[in-house]
Chains A and B, each alone.
Chain A
Amino acid sequence: MKPPPFDYHAPRDLGSALSALAEAGTDGKVLAGGQSLIPMLNMRLAAPGHLIDINRLAGLDTVTAGPDGVRVGALARHSRVERSAEVAAAQPLLRQALRQVAHPVIRNRGTVVGSLVHADPAAELPAVLALLGGSVRLARAGERERDVAAGEFFTGPLESAAEPGDLAVSAFFPASPPRSGTAFRELARRHGDYALAGVAAVVSLGEAGEVVRARVACIGVGAVPIVVDVTSAGRPGDWAAAARAVQDRVEPEDDIHATAGYRRHLVGVLAERALGEAAREAADA
């Protein structure tokens, strides 16, 4: 469990980081929090020739929360975003999701943007970004930064739109409209494990308490976070039909921890619970 040889780069500014990445091409990997990459290196599941450590770059650890939403820099650790009152006020789903990401020691080191780029279909943050319709900002040597919408960003299990040479510099999580509520429900075998299945929900209510918009994003039941709009099936106080609609849309698979059938069942239960909780929160908002 020792990594194969690699060249280690520790650039001190964004320009050098981008050129190092450009030079390394497909043989390069970005090291931020390292919570997924380092174990993969140690198990020799990944063997990049160049590791570009971005931890010394200034200005990438910013977190800004405003009425529009939350922008999280590439070096902002999970724990910082989780604990920020401004973030929780602007988009409460982030804190709800982050509390279920692994364990505190991992959250102290792991980064929000790193989790997005890693694109594990069982991870919480990709689902949050997908559900909220957020985006990831990519930088590349010699090019203008570009924003990629969540819908295009997650392309497959552990695959994202970030190409070799790209550095994800930040991500943007939009705020929800007024009279909205959010919830994140998941079930993991052990506290902090990747979930067997999980559901993030946002519900927005109208003046009369009617459902204006209801959407969920499901994790662990497909190649990417699966976003389902259940506005038409949703009734405040009765989300059973919505849950069935979600179950029909997911594509779970068997693995050693749970069968596909159980995951499909579970996603229904979690969707009903998450939607109900989000709707109650919206009603109180």
Chain B
Amino acid sequence: MTTRMFGEPVLRREDPRLLTGQGRYLDDLGPRALAAAFVRSPHASARIRDIDVSGALDVEGLVAVYTWEDLPEQVGAPLPLLIPHPALTHGRTAYPLARDLVRHVGEPVVMVVARDRYLAEDACALIRVDYEVLKPVVGVEEAAHGGLLVHADVPGNAGAHLVQEVPSAAGLGAGEAIGRAPHELSFRLDIERSASMPLEGRGVYARWDADDRSLRVYSSTQTSTSVRMAIAARLGLPLPSVEVIAPDVGGGFGVKIVHPWPEEVLVPWAAILLGQEVKWTEDRREHFISAAHERGQVHFVRVGFDDEGRVLGLDVTILHDHGAYTPYGIIVPIITATQLLGPYRIGAYRVEFTSIYTNTVQVTPYRGAGRPQAVFCMERTMDHIAAHLGLDRTAVRAANLIQPDEFPYDQGLIFQDGRPLIYDSGDYPESLRMIKELIGWDGFPAVRAAAEAQGRRLGIGIGCYVEGTGVGPYEGGHVQVTSDGRVHVSTGLTSQGQGHETAFAQIAAAELGVPLERISVVTGDTRRFGYAVGTFASRAAVMSGNAIALACRKVRAKALRIAADALEADPGDLEISEGVVRVAGSPGASIPLATVATLANPLRYAFDEQAARATQFAATPAMDRPPVAEGEEPGLEGRDYYSPIRSTFASGMHAAIVETDPETAEIKILRYAVVHDCGKLINPMIVEGQIHGGVAQGVGGALYERMVYDSHGQLLNASFMDFLMPYATEIPHVETAHLETPSPLNPLGIKGAGEAGVIPVSAVIASAIEDAEGIVIDRMPISPSDLFHLRATR
């Protein structure tokens, strides 16, 4: 009997804590810390003439005021460009505090530290910054003309330009393949800006211990290990003297993988300088104007296809709005460019993007990270082809799908990890069959007709995607069994509510044969595990899940060696279940893992009764070898790493039925169906939760959320009053079905699931609205007001 844990819908162990107010988020820590607040630029583009802080000096409780001139060289230097790329010829990052120019509303200019946040904000309000206001660059197309520049030394505002080309089997380029195709279409597609918008914003809390000259920093981050290295480097501290911990984090969705944020450098620096704890908790307005956005892209598509709708050539040109800076490189447009082909075999492909600076908040990955735009392009293209040929939309997709016997399938592109984009496994025709069945695709005409008879207007839509998940370079896991029989699992990447404590414990339980209750999991704490990359790109389960499994296998092998000695049995005859090692087939011969853990650590001192069993006179040891044999280490623990050869590709297909009100132009999602394939499921309940949350964010992007900048570069809707994140009332019930095609690339056969839900939603909803209305939908999101005006142009 083995403990069957992997694949079970185990309830999330972190939920009782998180749902009953017992979570420890950043602002729950350090109640006596000094508070930092920032004076931020009210202008999108301006030169700082003078900063007069004198008005703030009378505020009682003010501790310090810093401008860029106060910062030492390493602290005040521009923030790092985290992911350099040869095509990013003009990468630019911000100073932690603006030096002489501000390039977007919200850029930090002055840091204030005071006894509490109220006083810090009072002081901020009294600081006078004299700006020479400059004309801002707003709107990606206007920026691309290059008349006005965001950075004086970046001509045309073009930070990066990249072309990737994949010729057809016959060696034709995309242009030629399109030219020779029986049919050709070209069109433009737009996606507007949105943002990650975690309910908990960013935050940093730093404690300097002057006695042992060490720094502990808590940050609401998606990568504590890399924040630690960045802080150590910036502040000139030895790495072992810096600890960074991600406490409970109230959502990340991508924005918290960017690091170090200005505040992550400045708050620890001020804590050391002042010799006092300092904390900064981002407020919502700061998050809107000072963190990061995503999604804004314009796409020009040209496609050539045959009579069956098979794509013979595809040429896509993308204008990517990068905002004012490029700290995270060009990952977003690279993902759009390379994930655009989805589950399809395309004749010839050419994709070109230009990444453009504008005087707006910087753009970095947000859940989906360029894929929603990519899928919008490809799936709108499929719908356009179907409409042009008068074919069923699913028939056109079926004609283009990669077949199960074609894996591994090389798309001929270089993915975001710098490695070849090769689909490892999948069954796209089966996925299409399942989604059609789940939504009732073939029966929909009757449903539509029945609704029409009541004066109601319905439409059905579909969207398909492939998602590269589990990007490298690596993650690690450490597993320790202590002499009380408990199992302590740690991994370096962080958690933002994904259910890692549960999923990783399930993996350890299955690998070690130990009950779930005896397993504890720690993530994102550099005191426990120092080597990690971070949580992004749907990688935590694939990367740390496999690393933990491998570490468990080391522990298990060692446990069996020790137990075999103790039981005088062959390790091959042993099995572990319920935390006990047994000789298979002889029920009497067994030894608990707790005892094995004790024996694994030869002792001199019997500090308790259990320990006495491992002391030097307790047993009759073999005198021909040392107590810790060569090649062994004391303790029952193991550490291992998983570093994949390349990404593993999950996939899915969504379909929806929407109703549009013929009079008010209201848009309502009546049904939403998801078929999802992320390889082997660790916990189907957690995967479904991820899908539901993803779909909810996708609905936000499709129908509600946009960042409205005016011509002065002011964000007009920088609050939850006017940035319409959907409520639960706006989210339909999500019907899901799973397909499991294991990944051959990793020991557990799993693929990432974190971002999946959000990816195709805009494409699906656009497809359904177009079907209901008979109006081409070529930009998202769409509001009732937008639909009303589209109807008028029909």
Contacts and interface: CB of A to CB of B under 8 A. Distances in A.
Contacts of B788: 259, 261-262, 265-266
B784 A187 contact: yes
B789 interface: yes
Nearest to B716: A256
A45 B168 CA distance: 60
Contact of B704 (A1, A43, A190): A190
Interface residues of B, number: 28
A190 B704 CA distance: 8
Given A2-B118, A190-B724, A257-B783, A43 B664 contact: no
B719 A43 contact: yes
Contacts of A266: 664, 784, 788
Interface string B107-136: 000000000011001100100000000000
A84 to B, nearest CB: 25
Given A256-B716, A258-B785, A259-B789, A187 B666 contact: yes
A269 interface: yes
B784 A258 contact: yes
Contacts of A256: 708, 716-717, 722
Interface string A163-199: 0000000000000000000000001011111001000
B605 interface: no
Interface residues of A, number: 24
Contact of A191 (B117, B664, B730): B730
A190 B719 contact: no
A265 B717 CA distance: 24
A261 B284 contact: no
Given A2-B118, A269-B664, A259 B719 contact: no
A43 B729 CA distance: 27
Contacts of B118: 2-3, 5
B130 to A, nearest CB: 21
Nearest to A269: B663
A190 B664 contact: no
A4 interface: yes
A146 interface: no
B785 A1 contact: no
B484 interface: no
Interface in B390-404: none
Nearest to A273: B663
A12 interface: no
A262 B664 CA distance: 9
A192 B727 contact: yes
Contacts of A249: none
Interface string B728-771: 01100000000000000000000000000000000000000000
B420 interface: no
A44 interface: yes
Contacts of A193: 724
A22 to B, nearest CB: 28
Contacts of A261: 788-789
B730 A190 contact: yes
Nearest to A5: B122
A196 B785 contact: yes
Contacts of B708: 256
B285 interface: yes
A44 B719 CA distance: 13
B633 interface: no
Contacts of B283: 1
B785 A262 contact: yes
Contacts of B729: 190-192
Contacts of A2: 117-118, 121
A189 B724 contact: yes
Nearest to A47: B125
Contacts of B175: none
Contacts of A192: 727, 729
A190 B727 contact: yes
B80 interface: no
A5 B119 CA distance: 9
A192 B125 CA distance: 33
B30 interface: no
A17 to B, nearest CB: 26
Given A189-B704, A190-B730, A269-B663, A44 B785 contact: no
Interface in A244-283: 256-259, 261-262, 265-266, 269-270
B726 interface: yes
Interface string B765-794: 000000000000000000111001100000
Contacts of B726: 190
Contacts of A265: 788
Nearest to B35: A2
Contact of B285 (A4, A43, A257, A259): A43
Interface string B704-732: 10001000000011010010101101100
Contacts of A5: 118, 122
A193 B727 CA distance: 10
Contacts of A3: 118
B698 to A, nearest CB: 16
A4 B665 CA distance: 43
A192 B725 CA distance: 13
Interface string B502-527: 00000000000000000000000000
B764 to A, nearest CB: 20
Interface in B674-712: 704, 708
A44 B121 CA distance: 10
A80 B238 CA distance: 62
A120 B446 CA distance: 46
Interface string A1-15: 111110000000000
B722 A191 contact: no
B397 to A, nearest CB: 32
Contacts of A196: 784-785
B789 A262 contact: yes
A4 B118 CA distance: 7
Nearest to A256: B708
Nearest to B117: A2
Nearest to B729: A191
Nearest to B120: A2
Contacts of A187: 664, 666, 784
A270 B726 CA distance: 23
B661 to A, nearest CB: 9
A22 B586 CA distance: 91
9 residue pairs, one from A and one from B, having the closest CB atoms:
A191-B729, A258-B785, A1-B283, A262-B785, A2-B118, A269-B663, A256-B708, A262-B788, A2-B121
11 contacts: A1-B283, A4-B125, A43-B285, A187-B784, A190-B726, A190-B727, A191-B727, A191-B730, A258-B783, A269-B664, A270-B664
Interface of A: 1-5, 43-44, 187, 189-193, 196, 256-259, 261-262, 265-266, 269-270
Interface of B: 117-118, 121-122, 125, 283-285, 663-666, 704, 708, 716-717, 719, 722, 724, 726-727, 729-730, 783-785, 788-789
